[in-house]
Structure 1
Amino acid sequence: MRKRLLHAWAGTLLCAALLGLPWPARGELVVIVNPQSGVDQLTRSQVINIFLGNHREFPNGLRARPFDLPTGNPDKELFYRGLVNRDLNQMAAYWSRLVFAGSTSPPVQAGDTQEVIQAVATSRNAIGYVDRRHVEAGRVRIVFTLP
């Protein structure tokens, strides 16, 4: 009984300590395109098709060139988990199969968030995803928000 009380007390102290710590705010992930792309919005299935290599065209027929965040970036894991409920190991296996079969290639891997934004801002057919907090109005257009 005494041991159980000690464990309960320790758990309570840990929770209290954790609640007092500042947690980094997690932003909202958004899919972005170049404002000159002619694309105003995309559906979830269109984003899936573009980023998973099934159909790499925007609704207006323009060829889409997807850009990925680097593997160490936590937003990449959140993006694929939220979009298709797969972790990065599952995505790596998915791409290995498709590349081996010669079907398609994975998105271009950018070095960081700023590189994704730069690629999208300077290329009409580029598409990427970033935390909404990094989006500069007018430079890129948000076409999908990951719920």
Structure 2
Amino acid sequence: MCARKPLMMLLLLLVIASYSSALKASNDFVVIANPQAGIDKMSKDEVINVYMGRNRKLTSGITAQPLDIATPLGEKANFYFVMVNKELSEISSYWARLLFSGQGSPPRQVSTAEQALEIVSTNKGAIAYIDRTKIDRRVKIIFDPARS
């Protein structure tokens, strides 16, 4: 029984270390839009409402087309954890219920941040979350969790 105690302590330390590193990376993303979308800023609640299907219009009146980066780990998991405090399994369940009831459809899935950048830069209604180091002149930041 005593041999298990050091193993349990080690596992606990690993969980704490991974959790603290996730917290450090939590605000490394920004939400971007096309410069022609007619919006300068969105609040956290407005971003959440678009991504959770509660509101499908941007404040400019353009139909919102939110993009999810399809990789289950990394940007997508971080975005939903920071924004709505939910794990990806909870988000999937949420969308399964809405799809089944015919009340909405989830954000469009893209493979990479580069693909998200390309779509946002050529589509006025598209918005996406990407790592802040990947933005370029084709898009503008409309929400920054580090500054909200």
Give 1:72 shift. 2.9
Matches within 5 A, 1:112-127: 112-127=112-127
Deviation at 1:146, TM superposition (A): 2.0
SS of structure 2 residue aligned to 1:66: strand
RMSD of the alignment, in Å?
Answer: 2.4
| Structure 2: gaps spanning 5 or more residues | none
User: For this pair of structures, how many residues does the alignment match?
Assistant: 131
For residues 10-63 of structure 1, give each alpha carbon's deviation from its aligned partner in whole angstroms, at most 9, with x where no partner exists: x8xx9xxx9xxxx9x847110000001011000011101100000111112111
Aligned mates of 2:94, 2:145 — CA distance in 1: 21
What pairs with 1:1-147 in structure 2 (closer than 5 Å)? 26=25, 28-136=28-136, 138-147=137-146
CA deviations on 1:78-98 (whole Å, 9 max, x unpaired) are 100000000100000000000
**Segments of 4+ in structure 1 off by > 6 A?**
none
Contact 2:72 2:88 in 1 (8 A): no
CA distance in 1 between partners of 2:111 and 2:140 (Å)? 21
Unaligned 5+ residue runs, structure 1? none
**Greater gyration radius:** 1
The Cα of 1:75 is off from its aligned counterpart by 1.0
Asked if the contact 2:51–2:66 (Cα under 8 Å) also holds between the matched residues in 1, the reply is yes
Report if aligned partners of 1:117, 1:140 keep a CA contact under 8 Å in 2: yes
Alpha-carbon displacement from aligned partner over 1:105-141 (angstroms, at most 9, x marks no partner): 00000011111111101101100000000001x2101
Q: TM-score, normalised by structure 1?
A: 0.81
- Provide the identity percentage: 36
